A = this chain, B = another copy of it.
Amino acid sequence: MNVVSYRPKPEELAYTFGGRPAVARIQPGTIVEMYTEDCFAGRVTSVDDLPSRVCDFPYLNPVTGPFHVDGAEPGDTLALHLVCVEPARDWAVSTTFPHFGALTGTHTTAMLTPPLDEVVWLYDVDVAAGVVRYHARRSDFTAELPLDPMHGTVGVAPGASEARMTITPDAHGGNMDSPELRAGVTVYLGVNVSGGLFAIGDGHARQGHGEVCGTAVETAMNTVVAVELIKGVITPWPRMEDDAHLMSTGSARPLEDAYRISQHDLVTWAAYLTGLDVLDAYQLVSQIGEAPVGNVCDTNYTMVARLPKSVLGGPAVYESAHDRLRALGREYLAQR
């Protein structure tokens, strides 16, 4: 088993997809162990650390990478299987942030009203108990919420010689903030540049649908990824697969366009996999498809379109990459 470990120093964190050299070259079939910092670059450590004071824009939402996958060329697809996503700390933070979030004016949805108060919440992350513990700031109210670790940000270098802030989700992936990005899922990303140059960050101990206040339960992660390269297969928008579902994503504004992209991709993908006529696939997805919301707060909004594989008769997807990567991941975990 080919295992590569990488823990970035603070100055090695990346703040764009594209525009940066790889931190490592890996072969397809490799397991990558990595450490990811939280979206505040670890600078918010108490309720007194207001992000607008301790963070320097645009040094937000760092990712670990990028990793160059040998042989990856435009027109191929990278398969990244999240073997495990484990909180690296026993605490996490979440905040409001001036002009960010779904229920406040932003730099885009520009308003003359003043921003909401900037407040920090500190969570306990209790991996053993499988919970995160919420503490209200203005009363004694507390609540235990299920731990459900995931990555907000997974992506590759974009095409067209672009470099994009890691906070932006688009066709190259990026900050999709979908709770589906948890251990056990395989992410498929279309390759735009030689090596693909994938990177991962923005760990969440858990998040709600849409990340309405703008941030999730943000924490550092120890994450393990199994990587495959699928040659000659184009992936127009990030897709995901878990044991039971196929998923397409779309990231755009307005939110209905994110919905349209994701549903369009799922419909045409289902038609391709099954030989169904496109309108027949449209009908089928209409009745059994789900649409879990990713984010409704970033520079683009994200929606996921999800379909049970069983309803399609369990087609072979991406040359069965998910099954192989799942097996590889189990083997890795068994040896660890």
Q: Which residues of A contact B (CB under 8 A)?
A: 15-16, 18-19, 57-58, 94, 96, 102-105, 107-117, 119, 121, 132, 134, 136-139, 141, 143, 145, 159-165, 206-217, 250, 252-257, 259-261, 263-265, 267-268, 274-280, 282-291, 293, 296, 301, 303, 311-312
Which of A104, A113, A132 is packed against the most chain B CB atoms within 10 Å? Answer: A113
Do B117 and A114 have beta carbons less than 8 Å apart? no
Shortest Cβ gap from A108 to chain B (Å): 5
Q: When the two chains form their complex, are residues B134 and A287 in contact, meaning their CB atoms are under 8 A apart?
A: yes
With A105-B105, A252-B253 as given contacts, are A111 and B212 in contact (CB-CB < 8 Å)? no
Q: Can you list 9 A-B contacts (CB < 8 A)?
A: A102-B259, A103-B105, A109-B109, A112-B268, A117-B279, A121-B283, A136-B276, A208-B285, A214-B286
List residues of chain B with CB within 8 A of the CB of A206: 287-288
Contacts of A141 in B (CB 8 A): 274-276, 280
Q: Are B110 and A113 in contact (CB under 8 A)?
A: no
B104 in contact with A280 (CB, 8 Å): no
- Tell me the nearest residue of chain B to A259, going by C-beta: B296
Interface core residue of A94, A209, A263 (most chain B CB under 10 Å): A209
If over half of A's interface residues share one DSSP class (helix, strand or loop), that class is named, otherwise mixed; here it is: loop
Is the CB–CB distance between B212 and A286 below 8 Å? yes
Bound: A278/B114 CA distance, A: 12
Contacting pair B260 A109 (CB below 8 A): yes
Distance between Cα atoms of A107 and B237 in the complex (Å): 10
CB distance from A123 to the nearest CB of B (A): 8
Known: A210-B259, A260-B103, A283-B94. A160 touches B253 (CB 8 A): no
